[in-house]
A and B are shown apart, each in its own frame.
Chain A
């Protein structure tokens, strides 16, 4: 079946540093999404990507949809303590179903 491979699994960084994480897929997706999940909560949408090659920003977050439609990256600039959480990439399937990557757990040291 379809799988999204997300890396790295975890990151420990210093406040103020930039962060980058990425996802790859064996299948093509027409829509790619990035979510953040805080402990004990549901995921919250950060950025949605609709076109191959698209580069989209949301504040300190920037995400790009790969040209091949099989990969995407998320960058966080100048990290702050509240960026702590688990970040998931997700690909949109027909019927509105989402398939999620394994997640990247981010820890930020003040």
Chain B
């Protein structure tokens, strides 16, 4: 299957600082990537859709000024958590949509980034 990487795999930061998480599709070009958030023992919740060359589309209840998304190239999307607070601590997972497959454009998930805000 296709490979999607995330960097860093984990990060610990102080409250009030900003953290950038990268999502890369390593062997295909992705015009669309998605960012999810997962709390312990819970499901994945879609935060936003990242579109190459245009603004991200945020889900209801997700603050776009707090979670900045940039999809500057067909293989890279970044999520920046601005002014992080302890309640932002979570597991952030990206996925990249690979076009051209039958029936639907399969999403391939990254390994996730564990963010801990002190």
Interface, chain A (partner B; CB < 8 A): 31, 40-45, 48, 50, 88, 92, 95-103, 105
Contact = CB atoms under 8 A, between A and B. Distances in A.
Given A48-B103, A50-B104, A97-B34, A42 B93 contact: yes
Interface in B12-68: 32, 34, 41-46, 49
A98 B104 contact: no
A97 B45 CA distance: 11
B42 A98 contact: no
Contacts of B103: 31, 48, 50
B109 A44 contact: yes
A100 to B, nearest CB: 5
A101 B44 CA distance: 8
Given A42-B95, A48-B103, A95-B49, A88 B43 contact: yes
Given A42-B93, A96-B104, 17 more contacts: A31-B103, A31-B104, A40-B114, A42-B110, A45-B107, A48-B104, A48-B106, A88-B43, A92-B104, A96-B32, A96-B49, A96-B105, A96-B107, A98-B107, A99-B46, A100-B44, A103-B42
10 contacts: A40-B112, A42-B95, A42-B111, A43-B44, A43-B109, A48-B103, A96-B107, A97-B46, A103-B43, A105-B41
Contact of A41 (B42, B43, B45, B112): B112
B93 A96 contact: no
A97 B114 contact: no
A31 B105 CA distance: 11
Interface in B63-97: 93, 95, 97
